[in-house]
Amino acid sequence: MASTNTTGYRRGLVDLGKGQISREIFVNDEIYQEELERIFARAWLLVGHESQIPNPGDFFVSSMGEESVILCRDRAHKVHVFLNSCRHRGMKVCRYDEGNAAVLTCPYHGWSYSTDGRLVGVPYFREAYHGSLDRSRWGLAEVAQLCLYKGTVWASWDPAAPPFLEYLGDFLPYIDLTLDAWDGSDGGTEILSGIQKWRVPCNWKFPAENFSGDSYHNISHRSVDLAGIGPSGSGRRDMPELLMARKLHIAFPEHGHQTTSYLLPKEVALPPAYQHSSVVSEYFRECEEARRNKRGDWGRMIALVGEVFPNTAFLARQPRTLAAWHPRGAHETEVWRWFLVDRNAPAEVKDFLRQYYIRYSGPGGMTEQDDMENWNYAHAASRGTIARRYPYNYEQGTGTEIENYEWESFRVPGVVCDLTRAKSSEHNLRNLYRRWAEFMEADRWEELTSGRRLGRAEAAE
Ligand code: FES
Ligand SMILES: [Fe+2]
């Protein structure tokens, strides 16, 4: 392949003017290596949830890009994220998935690190190093920036990246729809029953684009709809009130985040109770009412799916989860899925949600199985010498985006495609790849935050 560094070549790969994207960005190993540098070493990435490390000394081994990191809480309750690689010879310091430790001791030669990352133990320190080793310089490598937001933990390796809240910008209230409690109170979620991890033989961008809002693939879930895995035994989800809502694709061109959300009319009856125990149906009914009262217009907004650039997805309702698409080479993705519930929900509600969540999502979830089959076969069928010559088509709904979308006195933040009549668009997907191309081209954060867009005019040059 020719050099991928020239701007012109890069623009040729993601051609927003034509709505075409080269298969190379999914299957080319050189481009993948560059993604690790330009995207995963710079962007904000989801690392975990504070409820996974409630006590001093608790740790959870996570991942940023391909690299293992340790999320841990030190003795003073401060949260850290360290590279899981010993400073002596690179051994993976922590080989457990999670646990509690007073110190983190490297299994190779025994260097020990405190939970705040300092190198505190060196075997034969006096004898072998003759007192010359400056331990203060050899602590665990720590991320440049860390942000705790409503229970979630985010990190970036890049000191020049904008602060996390700036990185999210006006997209923040959409992710709040997943991170706030069901009754509209701030935060208050916890992880249910650990997390699920599994691998899918496809490029990480297949799931990233799907969760950005691929409303076009409902045909794939036809069998699940027929089987009726929803809480009341019909369809995939129980949200009959959505029939009255506006279905919107909402994208943030300056950030690369996007969501598929529903906006309910101002006056809408509370949904019928879940066909389940009275504890469960009453809980959801009360929460629904409280949320609408507390949140006003935002109480009318229901985020179905969304994606924080580059590789974090969220589902706000049914089920309520966070996912990280960890790249494992150009041709494999390790999916991690966190399932969220309200910490204060009754045990019966948590159990009801647990059963529904695993029916829907994860490697055994019926809906996610459909998706994975598509990504798996699409990736494999795109790798061939001949297949790579043919770009994918992303032109659906080009030119139908609305900058200042308003419905029933709610001005919706973001650039919107209203699917009420159109049914589907690839507006959000184009937004994801526009930002992808910007990250791959920009050498400095100033270029990424300057507001310069790879628009249609430029792409057509
Ligand atoms: S590699 Fe960790 S102590 Fe040597
Ligand atoms: Fe799907």
214: closest CA among 63, 371, 369, 356?
371
**What percent of the chain has pLDDT above 70?**
92
CA of 122 to the centre of ligand 2 (A): 51
Q: Is the peptide bond between 310 and the residue preceding it cis, with omega within 30 degrees of 0?
A: yes
> Among the atoms of ligand 1, which is closest to the Cα of residue 111?
3
The amino acid present at 256, given as its one-letter code, is G
Q: How confident is the model over 70-91, as pLDDT tens digits?
A: 999 999 999 999 999 999 999 9
For the cut 60, the answer to whether the pLDDT of residue 389 exceeds it is: yes
Does the pLDDT of residue 8 top 60, yes or no?
no
Residues 329-352 pLDDT 10s: 999 999 999 999 999 999 999 999
Predicted confidence (pLDDT) per residue in 241-258, tens digit: 778 899 999 999 999 999
60 CA to centre of ligand 2 in angstroms: 29
- Asked if pLDDT for residue 373 goes beyond 60, the answer is yes
Pairing of strands 98-100, 58-64: antiparallel
The tens digit of pLDDT for each residue in 101-130 reads: 999 999 999 999 999 999 999 999 999 999
pLDDT in tens, 11-65: 589 998 899 999 999 999 999 999 999 999 999 999 999 999 999 999 999 999 9
Under 8 Å between Cβ of 316 and 178: yes
| 2 pLDDT more than 60 | no
Which residue's alpha carbon is nearest to atom 3 within ligand 1?
A: 109
Would the pLDDT of 276 be above 90?
Answer: no
- pTM value is 0.94
Sequence-ordered list of residues with C-beta below 8 angstroms from that of 178, at least 6 positions apart, any chain:
303, 306, 314, 315, 316, 320, 322, 340
The band of 460, judged by pLDDT with boundaries at 50, 70 and 90, is very low
Q: Which amino acid would we find at residue 387? A: A
Which of ligand 1's atoms lies nearest the C-alpha of 109? 3
pLDDT, mean of residues 140-160: 98
Q: Pocket of ligand 1, candidates 68, 83, 85, 106: which has the most ligand atoms within 8 Å of its Cβ, to mutate?
A: 106
pLDDT of residue 284: 86
Residue 456 has pLDDT above 80, yes or no: no
Share of the chain above pLDDT 90, in %: 76
- Backbone angles phi and psi of 279, in degrees to 5: -60, -45
Dump pLDDT digits (tens) for 398-445. 999 999 999 999 999 999 999 998 999 999 999 999 999 999 999 999
Q: Residue 341 has which token pair?
A: 């519930």
| Confidence tier at 272 by pLDDT (50, 70, 90) | low
Whether omega before 207 lies within 30 degrees of 0, making that bond cis, reads no
Residue with tokens 């699940």: 224
Q: Whose CA is nearest to atom 1 of ligand 1?
A: 89
Give the C-alpha separation, 182 to 288, whole Å: 7
Residue 265: is its pLDDT beyond 60? yes
Give 174's contacts (C-beta < 8 A, 6+ positions apart): 250, 257, 259, 261, 301, 303, 306
- How far apart are alpha carbons 318 and 313 in whole angstroms? 14
Q: Report the DSSP beta bridge partners of residue 59.
A: 72, 99
pLDDT of residue 73: 98
Task: Output the CA 106–ligand 2 centroid distance in Å.
Answer: 42
Is 6 or 280 the better-scoring residue by pLDDT? Answer: 280
Boundaries of every domain in the chain: 7-40+170-459, 45-147
How far apart, in whole angstroms, are the C-alpha atoms of residue 302 and residue 312? 18
Ligand 1 atom closest to the CA of 107, numbered from 1? 2
Residue 234 has pLDDT above 90, yes or no: no
| Angle made by CA atoms 23, 27, 30, in degrees to the nearest 5 | 115
User: Which two three-digit tokens encode residue 101?
Assistant: 């430790």
HSE of 84, CA atoms in CB hemisphere, 13 A: 23
CA of 234 to the centre of ligand 2 (A): 17
CA distance 458 to 461: 5
What does the pLDDT read at residue 288?
86
pLDDT at 419 (0 to 100): 94
In the predicted structure, residue 3 carries a pLDDT above the cut 80:
no
Ligand 1 atom with the shortest distance to the CA of 86: 2
Torsion angles phi and psi, residue 175, rounded to 5: -75, -25
| Ligand nearest, relative to CA of residue 112 | 1
Residue-level pLDDT at 196: 95
Ligand 1, from 68, 82, 88: best to mutate by most atoms within 8 Å of Cβ?
88
Integer-rounded Cα radius of gyration of the chain = 23
pLDDT bracket for residue 271 (50, 70, 90): low
> Quick check: 1 pLDDT over 70?
no
What pLDDT is recorded for position 227? 83
Domain 7-40+170-459: top CATH class: alpha beta
142: alpha, beta or left? (left if phi > 0; alpha if psi -120 to 50)? beta
CATH class label, 45-147: mainly beta
The closest-lying atom of ligand 1 relative to the alpha carbon of residue 106 is: 2
Closest ligand 1 atom, residue 90 Cα = 1
Ligand 1: residues whose CB is within 6 Å? 86, 88-89, 91, 106, 108-111
Q: How far apart are the first and last CA of the chain?
A: 22
Ligand 2 centroid from CA 23, angstroms: 21
Mean pLDDT, the chain, whole residue set: 91
pLDDT of residue 461: 31
